Each structure stands twice: as structure tokens, then as C-alpha cells.
Structure 1
Amino acid sequence: MRVSTRPALLVSLLIAAALGWGAASAAAAATWAPVKSATIHPGVQLFTKDAQCTANFIYTDGSTVYIGQAAHCSGTGGNNESDGCVAPSLPLGTQVTVTGAKHPGTLVYNSWLTMQQLKEKNPDVCKYNDLALVRLDPADVASVNPTVPIWGGPMGIDTTGTKPGEAVYSYGNSQLGLGTGAISQKQGTSDGDEGNGWSHVVTTSPPGVPGLGILSTLEVAPRTASNGVGDLSRELDYMRQHSAFALVQLVNGTEPFSSSGR
């Protein structure tokens, strides 16, 4: 059985680094806060109304800085809502509390809302296209560093999918599991792709969300630590083609990725 990761059910986790970095371009680093003192970075907690999610990565279009979360984090339907083409969501313009920021961010892109506006019919896209952007207040940009905790990176976006047995490296920052919300290091493997490449199945212990995408499903049984993960490369391409955010790019970390950690 799979259950959707609506924020009322669990807090999203972030997996950093995985597979074939550098296959797609990412925005060059500008002037960012030092990695050790930055208060806004991948993995901070975001609060959209009553929902709590973990940020995935930092993005920019060259003039504005955004922090990413799953589109389902602003969903207003039931816990089992997983079809973004019909699931209800809070509107664009909704304020989002960003841990480490002095000012609220603003929800400016949500793939669910975009797909509904376009009347998207592709079932794989509807199920796995799960990305949202939160615009950071300009006053908070000086507190941002795009580096992923523990592992470093990102250093690009994988565009070729995952192969069974391929290594993934992760960290979690969630109240799922032990309930402490502390960042913990994890490693795991890929179980391959699904949804015609729109999703990747990865297994870690405890479960988490990989840096190649956004958590869309959590395997409850029989693979107790398996996640269905939306493909970030495809999610970004969809956003660029169907919204005003055609220039938005993932921002590389200021520290390189290392499979042994930083």
C-alpha cells in the first residue's frame, strides 16, 4: 500500500546527492552566506498554514532567490490526495514561514495549480509532478547558502534516471520516525524508475526524499523504507515550459559533494 505524503501525514525529508551529478546545468553561485553561518539552506523547515515540510534546494532566476518544497505542502485535501491534477491547494500568494528567515516567503509556483490550469491529462505527470517555489524576501537573501547539509552539493541535476542498486546519499530533517526533527545522515539504493521516468523508487533507512526529486509516495509495505520520488529535472522543465519561471535554475552548493560527507 502507498500513502501520499500530504503534510498532515508526515514531514518531507530531503536526500542530498545521489546520482550522476552535472548532467544538467545549475545556476552559478553568487555571493552567499558562509555555509557554517547560513540560517537558510536546503533542509530548513517550511510552514504553509498548518503544514510542515522540509525545503529541498535553492533556486534563482538571476535576480530573485527561491526555496523549494513539494507542491503537496500547500494542499488542502485529505491525507490520501496524490493526484495533483485534481487535488485542492492553497493559492499562489500564500505566505510561507521559512525557518531561519526574518520575513515570510511567498508561494509563487505550485505544479498542482499549474497542471489544473492547463487541464493536464498525463497520469504520470499528475501523480509525480510535485514541486513548488517559495520566493524569499530580499532582506533574507544574505542569510542563504545553497549547500546541502552533511554531503555538500548539489553540483547539477541528474537527467538519466536511476538504475537498480545505484547508491543514494541522504539526510533527514523531520519528525517522522524518532520525532526529534534532528538532521541525520542516511544512505540507500535505487530500486529503479517508475511512471515512465517521472518517479524513482529509492530505499533508505529510515525513509527520506532524494535530491533528484521530491517525495511523492511513502511505501508502507512490503518495502518499509521505500520512497517514490518525483524527477526534479522533469519537474523543472515542466515549470519552465508552463509558467513565468522559464529562467529559474537550481543553485549549486558552495561546497562540493562528497560521498564520505563534509
Structure 2
Amino acid sequence: MRSRHPLRIAAAALLAFATALPLAATAQAAQPTAAAGGVLYKKINSGVSPSWYTPEFERRLLASGTDGVRLPADATLPGGVTAPQAAGLVQPGIRPGQWLLTLLGSDGSDNLLGWCSANFVFKKNSTWGLGTAGHCGVVGQPVSAYVVPPPASGKLPGLYVIGKISLSRDHGIGDDFAMITISPEFSSWMNPTMPVWGGPAGVHTGDQVGEPLKHFGHGTLIGTGGTPRVGAALRWDIENGAGYSWAGAATPGDSGSGVLTLSGQAAGDLTHIVADVEGNMIGVAGTRMTKILQVAQGWTLVNGSLLPL
């Protein structure tokens, strides 16, 4: 008997998990941005405000420069995971899958902290960039990341303000991407390789339904601390080929995650939940890499090692 591929088994299990969860139980999503074929595409809400993230903490963070700020000793991530337990917070460098906090101004206003994930590393001439979802922030906003600095830096793990959003497109499914321009002082910390999976290795341009897809993100329920997940492609033709979808599961905080094919090519980012007309999650969707590179004119994708170094 021919054995079933383990990634396809995992994808089927994720789809079964996703379809069993009502959308309201997994994410507070925005209103549908598109509806076609009996499904809705709902943007994943990135607003999360941990109790330890106070105005005083933000002031310290914004003034910390290359020293960063340590997480409070009792800090927990949504889902109850503490930082030392989080497997996705141990690999050094600024890289795909990074846990990002968009600093919206925790000054007593109604603004929530933007909790998202990074997709891929980019470069424009000598300037480094890091991608995320467009709905994670607007142009000019500073972005911090939980970083384990390279050992040679002599710095400690913690939150660092790594740069500012220089480009943001929040136009719905297939047009949702932002670029963070990395501050020059962190250039030597950049690592283009995705944890666990390795890659990216070029840009995916195919359209095979059922193709295994994999990503690494920091969702607040099933992805807390950084969790690798596998799915299977459903569509590559959303919005005339600018968007795509796959059978998988995601929660707030996963927004912006990078998605790879089985061979390690960059498929795109993760921005939306696919729901049926009753609101049940049936998959995940995002902006294809080909569209991202059209939007990010002048920026090029930086390939990573196929080994997750």
C-alpha cells in the first residue's frame, strides 16, 4: 500500500480543526472584505494588549535604542505561555516569523497594541526590510520585535524597536502587505532564514491545488510563542491572481506570517481567514508573493538557507 505524505496528513488534520471552530471563537475579525463562491474573507484582527504592556513600558522601549528592554519576569503571552516556554523565541537574529509589536501609542487612548508576525526579509540597495501585513500598521509607525541578538553583539534577548513602517497596503484580500525599514544599527542582526522550515528559496508562481504549504507565526491561540503549521493550497486565483488560500488554521497575531511551498519557495503572506456564510473558519488566505513584489517596488526578496539556521 502506498503511504500517505505526512504533510498532507497534517494539512487534513488542520482543516478538520479549523472547520470545527466558529470564527468568533478564534478571532475578532473585521467585516468581510470580499465574498465569492459562498465564502467570506475576513481580515485577522491584530489588536492584542497584554497587561504588562503599559504606557511606562512603551516609553522605556521607545527610548531603549540598541539596548532593548527585557520582558517583565511575570510576562505572559496571550494563551498563557511565558516567554521562557516559547520555542519560537530562542533563535538569534531578525528573521521571518519574528514576533512583532506595532507601537500604536499606549497612552490611555483606545489604540490597541498591534501584535503580528513577520513574513520575509527584503533588501533595497544597502537597506534591510522586513515584511508583515498591511493591516498591522500605517506608514511612520515604529515597530518592535522580540529578538535574541546574535551572540557577538553582547546584547540580551528582549524587545527592540527595529525600525518603522515605510510602506503599507491594507486594501483587502490580495493587497495586504507592509514593509518595515530596519534601522541601520540592526543591519548585522538580519537573518533571512525562516525558523524550523528554512528558506525562502525564490518566489512561487505555480497554481497547483492541494500543494502543501507551511508557515511559522505567532498567533495568540494555536501559535503562541511561534508555531510551525502545514496546510494545503485551495486557490491561487483570488483577485485575479493577487491572492491565494489554503486549508489551515490561524489566529490573531499570525497576521503577516510568511508562507512557503514544500520546496521552500515564498508563496506569500498570511492576512485573512476564509469563512463560510455562517462564519465558520474553513481556511486561511493572503497576498501572493508575486503581488507583494509588485507593491514593494525596489525591494528584493532575500533568500535564506534551506537549513533552518
Pairwise TM-score range, normalised by the shorter structure: 0.5 to 0.7
TM-score normalised per structure 1: 0.66
Q: Deviation at 1:94?
A: 1.7
Matched, 1:175 2:220: yes
Aligned counterpart in structure 1 of residue 270 of structure 2, from 208, 215, 220: 215
Aligned-partner Cα distance in 1 for 2:48–2:274: 13
Structure with a larger share of its residues in strand: 2
Counterparts of residues 5-154 of structure 1 (less than 5 Å): 5-8=44-47, 38-48=92-102, 49=104, 50-74=113-137, 90=138, 92-100=139-147, 102-112=160-170, 127-154=173-200
Shift of 1:205: 4.6
Alignment partners' CA distance in 2, 1:65 and 1:234: 20
Note the alpha carbon deviations across 1:191-219, whole angstroms, 9 max, x for none. Answer: 12222111111112567652412223202
Q: Within 1, Cα distance between the matches of 2:134 and 2:302?
A: 19
Residues in 2 aligned to 1:70 and 1:129: alpha-carbon distance in whole angstroms: 9
Larger radius of gyration: 2
Is residue 301 of structure 2 the alignment partner of residue 256 of structure 1? no
Aligned with residue 4 of structure 1, among 32, 43, 53: 43
Provide the rounded CA distance (Å) in 2 between the counterparts of 1:99 and 1:183: 11
Indicate the percent of aligned positions where both proteins have the same amino acid.
23
Report the aligned-residue RMSD. 2.7
Structure 2 segments unaligned to the other structure (5+ residues): 1-39, 50-89, 105-112, 148-158, 261-266
Q: Is the 8 A contact 1:167 1:188 kept in 2?
A: yes
Structure 1 position 110, deviation (Å): 1.2
- The aligned counterpart of 1:235 is 292
Q: Which residue type is aligned with residue 213 of structure 1?
A: G
1:22 is matched with: none
Deviation at 1:64, TM superposition (A): 0.4
Matched, 1:192 2:235: yes
Aligned residue-pair number: 196
Q: Secondary structure at the match of 1:152?
A: coil
Higher relative contact order (CA 8 A, sep 6+): 1
Q: Which amino acid letter does the alignment assign opposite residue 181 of structure 1?
A: T
TM-superposed deviation, 1:60? 0.4
Partner SS for 1:128? coil
Q: Are the aligned partners of 1:102 and 1:140 in contact in 2 as well (CA < 8 Å)?
A: no
What stretches of structure 1 of length at least 5 have no aligned partner? 11-35, 75-89, 113-124, 241-245
DSSP-derived class of the 2:42 partner = strand
Q: Is the 8 A contact 1:111 1:239 kept in 2?
A: no
Partner of 2:73: none
